[in-house]
């Protein structure tokens, strides 16, 4: 007897995919999405109801001949997802159900001064507290971290911390304590996922996160690009800004720009003072000019190598990007035959990144559920 899944198994997986993607939905809509017969859809819905992945609720208000159609939905008991934005200053934990609907989120100051093990222990407690009202099993955790994820030690973004690959300590600690699969990715990738979720027309794009450290992400054909090595996306540490010996990270990160501004005579307590408070005109103009040059260098580098349709900027330095963008576009138009659409995306600090992480978690959980459903057939037939 063959141990391969049958057409019936794939039909069931297709119905589950459609329900997870668009619930609540009617059976008629399910038939449209799966292109299966009414009888097949009804059978697979009944099977998924028995498995605990589908419930019926409500009635379609649109009157048609015959029996009125009920809505199919995913119950909370089917499980939940955790998306995390673990920033240098702020941490957000977001819990959603398997349809991506928020159960709860919290935003708190990030733990300061702790090593990776201490941070992991603190994060476990935060996840448990936030997930208290969630139902069903925890099916996936995705944590978005600043900078180069594979080489983060204390989320500080310093060159020294990048030398010690400790991501596995955090990942293993969360998995061991919470008994759920964990994936780590960059905050830039999570931010870009959120943008892609809201706009299905985006094909090729890049995103710069200008925050404590400079992060970069890109997508091709609406899919987040993944690198083979930890060096992938580390533009800020290797590309020069066009201003002296300053790298992109030295001018497009909070830490770097604050240090540069102070070297130019601006005694800034926080970087926000650069645009929110009066400053000595000549010194401020020099800092803004350097920042503009760095923006032009960053966009120019990705424009000639990746040829994106769109370039997005997010992060705490976004107000300054807004200020210099007209001049940056003018300079880019002088040096490039065509320039991508450049925009600053408004985000809720912490929450927007956590949502992007949760979207990644939902995709992973959905894929795992589909595979486990097909694998169950293989196991059953091998007995």
Residue range 100-116, pLDDT digits in tens: 999 999 999 999 877 88
Top-confidence residue, 95 or 156: 95
3-class state of residue 40 by DSSP: helix
Tell whether the model's pLDDT for residue 367 goes beyond 70. yes
Concatenate the DSSP letters of all residues of 6-23 into one string: -HHHHHHHHHHHHHHHH-
Assigned token pair, 132? 């208290």
Query: Count of CB atoms within 10 A of residue 55's CB?
Result: 18
Q: Mark residue 26 as left, alpha or beta (left: phi above 0; alpha: psi -120 to 50; beta: remaining).
A: beta
What are the beta bridge partners of residue 104?
A: 95
Q: What integer pLDDT is reported at residue 375 of this predicted model? A: 78
Q: Determine contact, residues 315/211, Cβ cutoff 8 Å.
A: yes
Of 233, 240, 197, 211, the residue nearest 321 (C-alpha): 211
Helix (H) or strand (E) holding 44: helix 38-51
Q: What are the E-state strand segments in 146-204?
A: 182-186
Average pLDDT over residues 251-260: 95
Is 208 buried (19+), middle (13-18) or exposed (0-12) by CB count in 10 A? buried
Those residues with Cβ within 8 angstroms of residue 77's Cβ, 6 or more apart along the chain or in another chain: 52, 135, 136
Q: What integer pLDDT is reported at residue 373 of this predicted model? A: 83
* pTM (predicted TM-score): 0.86
Which stretch, 58-72, 166-180, 217-231, 271-285, has highest mean pLDDT?
A: 271-285
Helix axis angle, 167-178 to 116-130, nearest 10°: 40
Assigned token pair, 4? 């391969």
The least confident of 23-32, 204-213, 231-240, 343-352 is: 231-240
* Phi, psi dihedral angles at 146 (to 5 degrees): -75, 150
Of 138, 213, 129, the residue nearest 175 (C-alpha): 138
The HSE-up count of residue 369 (CA atoms within 13 Å, CB side) is 28
The whole-angstrom separation of Cα 102 and Cα 85 is 15
The whole-angstrom separation of Cα 313 and Cα 296 is 12
Quickly state the pLDDT bin for 153 (edges 50, 70, 90).
very low
- 3-state class percentages of the chain: helix first, strand second, coil last, to nearest 5: 45, 20, 35
């Amino acid at each position: 007897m063959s141990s391969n899944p049958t057409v019936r198994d794939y039909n069931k997986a297709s119905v589950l995919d459609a329900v997870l993607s668009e619930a609540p939905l009617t059976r008629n809509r399910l038939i449209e999405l799966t292109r299966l017969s009414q009888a097949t859809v009804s059978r697979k819905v009944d099977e998924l109801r028995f498995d605990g992945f589908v419930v019926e609720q409500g009635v379609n208000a649109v009157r048609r001949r015959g029996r009125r159609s009920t809505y199919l939905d995913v119950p909370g008991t089917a499980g939940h997802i955790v998306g995390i934005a673990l920033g240098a200053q702020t941490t957000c934990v977001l819990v959603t159900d398997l349809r991506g609907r928020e159960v709860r989120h919290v935003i708190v100051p990030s733990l300061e001064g702790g090593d990776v093990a201490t941070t992991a222990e603190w994060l476990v407690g935060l996840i448990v507290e936030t997930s208290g009202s969630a139902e069903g099993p925890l099916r996936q955790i995705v944590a978005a971290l600043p900078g180069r994820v594979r080489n983060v030690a204390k989320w500080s973004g310093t060159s020294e911390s990048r030398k010690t690959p400790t991501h596995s300590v955090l990942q293993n600690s969360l998995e061991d304590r919470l008994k759920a699969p964990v994936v780590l990715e960059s905050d830039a990738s999570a931010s870009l996922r959120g943008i892609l979720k809201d706009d299905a027309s985006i094909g090729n794009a890049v995103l710069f996160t200008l925050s404590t450290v400079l992060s970069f992400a890109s997508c091709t054909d609406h899919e987040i690009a993944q690198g083979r090595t930890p060096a992938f996306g580390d533009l800020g540490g290797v590309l020069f800004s066009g201003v002296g010996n300053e790298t992109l990270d030295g001018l497009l990160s909070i830490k770097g720009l604050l240090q540069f501004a102070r070297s130019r005579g601006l005694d800034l307590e926080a970087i926000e003072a650069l645009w929110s408070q009066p400053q000595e005109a000549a010194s401020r103009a020099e800092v803004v000019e350097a920042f503009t040059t760095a923006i032009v260098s960053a966009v120019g580098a990705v424009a000639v190598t990746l040829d994106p349709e769109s370039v997005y900027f997010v992060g705490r330095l976004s107000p300054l990007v807004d200020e210099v963008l007209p001049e940056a576009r003018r300079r880019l138009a002088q040096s490039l035959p065509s320039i991508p659409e450049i925009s600053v995306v408004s985000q809720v600090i912490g929450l927007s990144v956590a949502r992007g992480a949760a979207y990644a978690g939902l995709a992973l959980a959905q894929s795992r559920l589909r595979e486990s459903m097909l694998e169950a057939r293989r196991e059953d037939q091998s007995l």
